[in-house]
Amino acid sequence: MSFTAALEQLPKPDFLRAWCALAYAFPGLHPEGYEDAGSDWPRVLQRFAAEAWRRADAGELAEEERQKDPFGVFGVIGAEFSSGDGDDYACLCRKAKADHVTEIKRLFEDSEPSFETIDALDHGGSWPTLKTVLRASSAREILLAILSPDEAQEAALKAQTAWVNEAKEFILRSLGHKVSRGFDIYQKPDAWLHIGANDLGLRPCLETNVDVVRS
């Protein structure tokens, strides 16, 4: 049996392993020049393959030999992800969004942000967590969702807390109101004309707003 015919009988992975094996075992020689090994060719190639991968794992070939070896790439191909400190999620996000490094660092201080949150940095840059959680695209939509969230938005808000600090900052900038941990929904309002104080029909809106912010 010829070398070529033997290779044709091997599955594709073994075919590549065999080429790699011959390159490691007999560098510089063309396989067609080998003596016909008869019906033992497949077993010979598989033995070469096993030895080739052992050598590849051990790194026995010098760098110069690897460069000269046209088939050696099959012995060293592949890598494990992640392979270093630079491949962790936070580093990859900072590399992908180099213009938003400061914002990304802030997001990771609260929790591990989702891909959607990181992508939202390119769409306006502000309030990425709120935009992702509330499925909002503008400050107006965020405000409406915080004041009166629908069922899906309320469920999303209750499912995590990464948005809380960003929501406090958003409310401070948008409404001029600082939300604190001790905020009581039943405290006496500054003026009785505030929504919910004199119109009990609108009080659920106020209670929902405060409850969402506090949770």
167-170-171-172 Cα dihedral, nearest 10 degrees: 120
**pLDDT tens across 2-55, in order?**
555 665 666 656 655 566 555 555 554 444 444 444 556 566 666 666 665 565
The reported pLDDT for the residue numbered 8 is 60
Over residues 113-128, the pLDDT tens digits come to 888 778 777 765 578 8
Residue ranges covered by each domain of the chain: 3-76, 97-214
More confident call, 21 vs 134 = 134
- pLDDT for 163 equals 84
Q: For residue range 199-213, what is the model confidence (pLDDT) as tens digits?
A: 455 444 444 444 444
Average pLDDT over residues 165-193: 64
Residue 60 has a pLDDT of 53
CA separation for the pair 156, 144 (Å, rounded): 15
Give the Cα separation of 195 and 200 in Å (integer).
9
Give the model's pLDDT for residue 28: 47
Average pLDDT over residues 137-147: 83
Tokens of 211: 């409850």
pLDDT of residue 178: 75
The two structure tokens encoding residue 138: 């503008």
